[in-house]
Amino acid sequence: MEHSDLKTLVDADHGMISREIFTSPAIYKRELESLFTRTWLFVGHESLIPNPGDFYLSRMGEESVILCRDRTGEVHVFLNSCTHRGMKVCRYDKGNAKVFTCPYHAWSFALDGSLQGVPHFDDLYDGVLDRDDWSLLEVDRMAVYKGTIWASWDKDAPNFETYLGDAKLHLDMTLDCRDGRSGGSEVIGVHRWKFPANWKFAAENFLGDSYHNHSHGSVDAIGIGPSARSGVKGRRDDEMKAAQHIWISFPEGHGVHSAMEHPDAEFIDSYLDQPEIGAYFRHCYEERRRRLGDEAQLIPFTGTIFPNTSYHGRQPRGLCAWHPHSSGETEGWRFFLVDTDAPTAVKDFLRHYYMRYSGPAGMTEQDDMENWLYASAASKGTIAKRLKLNYQQSMGAAKLNDPLPGLVATQMSEHMARGYYTRWRDYLEGRDWDQLLGVDDPRFSDGEPVTKAGRA
Amino acid sequence: MSAVSDFSDLIGRNLAAQPGYAALQSQLEAFYFLEADLLDNRRYRAWLDLLADDLTYYMPMRANVPLAHDRSDEFTTVGEGIHWFENDKWTVVKRVEQIETGIHYAEEPLSRITHMISNVRIVDAKPDLETAQQIAVTNRFLLYQNRIVDDTTTFVGRRHDRLRHNAGTGWQVHFREVIIEQGILQAKNITNFL
């Protein structure tokens, strides 16, 4: 695949993208080799491995990785494959271990990945095998950020916060306590399920595709939100009804849909189904205002951290990893978040809401899965593949750094997707990190070009 | 909730030789076959009448854990954290209302479904099998689902049910645990009732 081919696949300037990027096995293979080996990937949360020896199986791209905490409390991420003959050294989803012993020939690895036990070492390997050379493969880069754990296979990757860029502010608002204290969240459960769609449909959905609201007409009509038992329709409380919605594309490929409240805004009645829950969130809102001042005007809604980590900022609140299985299959992992020190009644209320909204049995997200499946399936045909997909919404409407850093639209927009796929192409072309971070991307100095184009 | 949800002490019980077992089991099979007919024929409102108002209906998630571990490591525990779902009656009614909107695209057009119920076994009856008002039942289900063209999913698993008999309503389920033999769910959605 030549660079010129990739250029025609993603034509961001004209807002057109080839369907092949969602269907082609060759492009998928290129993604595994050029993209999933370099980007920062979300692998889990500290609350899943609170104690020394705790481990949790996760994934990076198609591959199984072990997330664990060693005896000194240090967090590690290892490729889950024995360095002797390749067997998975861990096939338990979670637990506590002293060592990982391979079931095949019983090589065993300590929690820091070092090769410890080699059966018959003295008889069979003495003088030849240097244990230090045969540790479990550890990721080249690892970062723990406000409880979340991220990793990259690229030793030259920029540090995690540089990679986040100005999307950090929005991710922060998702990870921070509801009352504005930094960090402090825990995972109360993880949905893991496999669906027949290309992974990028899911990632793109959370970049801020607010245009797909239509899909959720059924839950909006009947009401399933935190005030639904009190007769309020919709799938969530409309916490942003008095706020300015903003859609932001970032140079690194991330995209978010957030909202800015008026400086004098007041708490919007929500969580009406249980007065004490409503009172708790009112308290959190007022505390957050007091603590953060003007910064509290920002409310997170959804976002995707390039390439495959998405979040819902408030209702419901959680992080998703969209793990690729093939060009047409994805494993969705949804990590549900609450404040660690929230009252038990609040956590209980939230978990019920999260379950009826999210995941394969979630009344909202079932309809998303249907979209992603048939968008993938109906793009495979010989004739269908000749057609480009349309990404022309709100071209040129975004302004630079107003009111927050990034390319910001105040109307629904697909410029986040245009930016995302531009970076996606850079990875597949094997660009250097300056380009992957969008350092010289003219969209972030001159704004987005407006180039009218018909259906090509 | 744990006393209701925990079937571990009941699973090994064999009441089949006791007086009244066959008659009650026959009643129970009729109940489950009716339930399957109502669901497969999309008579959701009639199906809702088989569920008690104080319903707890949940489907735990499962993990690969070492043999020696407790059930609470392998299965998520009802009343705590996240499951595939944990419905009360209100939520089940909402799910029916959603299908009835005609714009719930994951079930519009509706899937074609068949429930098969087998291995119905009464593992507890109070006060006794002949005058039972409260029972605990285990059974197996197979739900075949096909939608649009070739979008086909088969769910296979076990149910741990608790039913109560009322003069007005007959038998109603007030607790149901749906156990599926998968850890990572091999289905894009769970849009039908298990």
Set out the domains of chain B in order of their start, with CATH numbers: 2-180 (3.10.450.50)
> Is cis: bond before B127, omega within 30 of 0?
yes
Minimal Cβ distance to A193: which of B69, B73, B187: B187
Q: Which residues on adjacent β-strands are paired with residue A67?
A: A56, A77
| Domain ranges within chain A, ordered by starting residue | 3-35+162-446, 41-143
Q: What is the rounded distance in angstroms from the CA atom of residue A11 to the CA atom of residue A417? A: 12
- Residue A309: its pLDDT value, please? 98
Q: What is the rounded distance in angstroms from the CA atom of residue A221 to the CA atom of residue B79? A: 28
Residue whose structure tokens are 């531009």: A422
Residues of B in contact with A224 (CB under 8 A): 94, 98
Minimal Cβ distance to A370: which of B73, B106, B187: B106
Helices (H) and strands (E) in chain A, counts: 14, 22
Q: Does domain A3-35+162-446 have CATH number 3.90.380.10?
A: yes
Q: Give the pLDDT confidence of A140-152 residue by residue, as tens digits.
A: 999 999 999 999 9
Q: Which backbone phi and psi does A267 adopt, to 5 degrees?
A: -55, 130
ipTM, 2 decimals? 0.96
Q: Tell me the nearest-neighbour CA distance from A92 into chain B, angstroms.
A: 5
Q: What is the rounded distance in angstroms from the CA atom of residue A148 to the CA atom of residue B184? A: 22
Q: Do B105 and A367 touch (CB under 8 A)?
A: yes
Q: How would residue A3 be classed by pLDDT, with cut points 50, 70 and 90? A: low
- Residue A6: its pLDDT value, please? 84
Residues of B in contact with A354 (CB under 8 A): 82
DSSP B177: E
Minimal Cβ distance to B190: which of A94, A352, A361: A361
Note the helical H segments in A128-234. Answer: 160-164, 168-175, 199-206, 217-222
Q: Do A363 and B183 touch (CB under 8 A)?
A: no
Minimal Cβ distance to B63: which of A94, A331, A352: A94
Q: Give the pLDDT confidence of A211-232 residue by residue, as tens digits.
A: 999 999 999 999 999 999 999 9
Q: Do B184 and A370 touch (CB under 8 A)?
A: no
Question: Is 70 exceeded by the pLDDT of residue B44?
Answer: yes
Residues of A in contact with B98 (CB under 8 A): 218-219, 222, 224, 363
**For A7-140, where are the E strands, in sequence order?**
10-11, 16-18, 41-45, 54-60, 63-69, 75-79, 94-96, 99-101, 108-110, 115-117
**Segment A373-400 mean pLDDT:** 93
- Residue B5: its pLDDT value, please? 74
Cβ(A428)–Cβ(A38) under 8 Å?
Answer: no
Question: Is 60 exceeded by the pLDDT of residue A175?
Answer: yes
Phi-psi region of A84 (alpha: psi -120 to 50; beta: other; left: phi over 0): alpha
Cβ(A330)–Cβ(A202) under 8 Å?
Answer: yes
Q: How would residue A1 be classed by pLDDT, with cut points 50, 70 and 90? A: low
CATH number of A41-143: 2.102.10.10
Q: Do B185 and A91 touch (CB under 8 A)?
A: no
Cβ(A168)–Cβ(A148) under 8 Å?
Answer: no
Q: Give the pLDDT confidence of A42-83 residue by residue, as tens digits.
A: 999 999 999 999 999 999 999 999 999 999 999 999 999 999
Q: Do A93 and B64 touch (CB under 8 A)?
A: yes
Q: What is the rounded distance in angstroms from the CA atom of residue A207 to the CA atom of residue A304? A: 5
